[in-house]
Structure 1
């Protein structure tokens, strides 16, 4: 499915709420643009594991979790969860 995900696609939670915008797919994870990342801990890139992607619908990447849960799943470059 990662081949369907391209830069500038919107990432939304299962509830349809905006989570971020795709920068690119890197190392099997979605790298979000640091200028558009939902929630906390802004100012650098966050990553979402491909396993949390439920599907690609047009220009949107839908996650299997609601947006408020998805931000707790985001990781920093190291693969460490983001401290909220």
Structure 2
């Protein structure tokens, strides 16, 4: 398990495949809150999304690497109200 306390604001979040998922706003409870700039398109644009800390595989070189590929990780994202982003 990665040392969650080493997750820093503005760190890049990447999937296991190295693809950009988002940028850390901060850790909130058992989730990483992503910046609004990485909120997606359409109805998902303009608000925060969250990634469960359970997906964090490692923190390396200031980047948060997830245990799932980016395309899978985004299916686990939650929106500010707690619902799924998909």
Q: Same fold (TM over 0.5)?
A: yes
Higher relative helix content? 2
How far is 1:37 from its partner?
Answer: 3.7
How far is 1:36 from its partner?
Answer: 2.2
Unpaired runs of 5+ residues, structure 2, are none
Find the residue that maps to 1:35 and give its secondary structure. helix
Which contiguous aligned blocks of 4+ residues in structure 1 show a shift greater than 6 angstroms? none
Give 1:43's match in structure 2, choosing from 39, 42, 46: 46
Give 1:27's match in structure 2, choosing from 25, 29, 44: 29
Query: Distance between the aligned counterparts of 1:63 and 1:39, measured in 2?
Result: 22
Query: Distance between the aligned counterparts of 1:42 and 1:49, measured in 2?
Result: 19
Unpaired runs of 5+ residues, structure 1, are none
**Mean CA deviation greater in 21-30 or 39-48:** 39-48
Q: CA RMSD in A?
A: 1.5
Query: Distance between the aligned counterparts of 2:61 and 2:28, measured in 1?
Result: 21
Number of aligned residue pairs: give it: 83
